[in-house]
Structure 1
């Protein structure tokens, strides 16, 4: 595994034709994307963002808001844009990836092949929450979302380890306020689980409001963490769209 502070890879492929930079969900870490590189194959280098406040970055200073987090990530990504690059964000990670994409878009055309947003309401649909969730409410909410993360939180020791980053990330999500601006010029693909009661296909279709270029929305089998059961289908979708984008850029 590469040992960069912000961007990590379990299986570095510096000679790959393109790279996919992945942004974890609230409370998540780069380990959420373990195994993606094997499924993606040798033509795609899969990197993951390691947020402060978890795993080996447990003691690092925490950002005050999602905008500050994006500001910290952008300088780590800019030097990598010499090869075709796409961003993928799941849940909270989709909002972070969006804010990073906005900051990488000072010119036309966009330096990004595509932005993939997963299981997340579009920024214009977001309203800051008036009151913060308590720890018990956070635990119940995470449990209701399901997936491997919810199962792990049934262990009290793991819950206590996960709680600080979850509490902070929920604060970031619930205080996020979308500031209208120029739309994204890169293509956008929005994805939802077909059994996700928190973010539906209709919800993710609103991402087209922040994109001026190509937009599409898809559903895959599963709930909020549909990628636990539909990861091969998701990787196939990502590979298909990135292969098409690379082909279009060379014609």
Structure 2
């Protein structure tokens, strides 16, 4: 196995393997997040949906893999892994916050083979919009921790563990550099349907600010609101698992 093949194999994690599932759902985590962000969602989804969670470089079993520093490079890697593992099951991509951009770029790379069936994005502004993200390299650790608490999604016990917190902050700064470098032309479009799932208490993304996702597909686009915050997509308590199941099964019929 080549180095590239080994790397692509490590970028997808299946917490609950379902080889006989009718559909595949690939979940892309937020900035600073790991594949484990979707472990509970994976457990909550039914047996007919196989879930792979993307593991970006620098995390857990990939801790020694260098971060490429570009959203496009992250998408290249995932697209390569999905191509290497391609089968005849419908493929759904779901991205949370920064992960929505990686999922969108992955879908663009898979467009030539019509591999993706639907893109699902959450807590994310459209790719051609200015996200106006803060420069975390100019922020103190205390300011970053305050923002993490505001958004939720990181257990308090991790925020008070100095070793874990140091790693989380380093990952956030690295991911945000890639996010701030990212640019997408306004005419970059997919042909697959796009579903925007929002948390009704998300302080960063709402129905108005995410409306432009419809401009990035020639297919259907619609928005739905779930009870929850910035991380509603990954939280089974918001009803995300039920809604994802309904969306996927509807596309299979």
Q: Secondary structure at the match of 2:95?
A: strand
Pair 1:195 & 2:195 matched: no
Counterpart in the other structure of 1:160: 166
SS in 1 for 2:198: strand
Greater RCO (CA < 8 Å, at least 6 residues apart):
2
TM-score, normalization by structure 1? 0.89
**Corresponding residue for 2:37?**
32
Deviation of residue 182 (structure 1)? 4.2
Residue pairs, 1:140-151, within 5 angstroms: 140-149=146-155
Q: Is 1:47 matched up with 2:52?
A: yes
Are residues 150 and 65 of structure 1, via their aligned partners in 2, closer, same or farther at CA, if it must alter by over 3 Å? Answer: farther
1:23 paired residue number = 28
Matched, 1:93 2:99: yes
The equivalent of 1:126 in structure 2 is: 130
Query: Structure 1 pair 86/227, CA: closer, same or farther in 2 (3 Å)?
Result: closer
Superposed CA deviations along residues 198-249 of structure 1, whole A, max 9, x for unmatched, are 11122222211101111110111122122465546111111111111111xx
SS of match in other structure, 2:112: coil
SS in 2 for 1:147: coil
Measured in 2, the distance between the counterparts of 1:91 and 1:149 equals 18
| Distance change >3 Å, CA 127–CA 199, structure 1 → 2 | closer
Any unmatched runs of 5+ in structure 1?
none
Select the residue among 13, 33, 40 that pairs with 1:8: 13
Q: Which residue pairs with 1:117 in the alignment? A: 121
1:98 deviates by 0.5
Q: 1:66 to 1:186 in 2, by over 3 A?
A: same
- Aligned equivalents of 2:138, 2:155: Cα separation in 1: 18
Give the Cα–Cα distance (whole angstroms) in 1 for the partners of residues 223 and 68 of structure 2: 31
Identify the range of structure 1 (210-219 vs 196-205) with the bigger mean alpha-carbon deviation: 196-205
Aligned residue number for residue 240 of structure 2: 234
**Which one of 65, 77, 86 corresponds to residue 82 of structure 2?**
77
What TM-score does the superposition give when structure 2 sets the normalisation length?
A: 0.88
Aligned length: 243
Q: C-alpha root-mean-square deviation of aligned residues, in Å?
A: 2.1
Counterpart of 1:60?
Answer: 65
Q: Deviations over 1:36-82 (max 9, x none)?
A: 23311110001101110111111111112101111122110123252
- Work out whether residues 193 and 217 of structure 2, in 8 Å CA contact, stay in contact via their aligned partners in 1: yes
Q: Partners of 2:140 and 2:189 in 1: how far apart?
A: 36
Once residues 98 and 157 of structure 2 are traced to their aligned partners in structure 1, the CA distance between those partners, rounded to angstroms, is 19
**Cα–Cα, structure 1 residues 127 and 40, in superposed 2: closer, same or farther, change >3 Å?**
closer
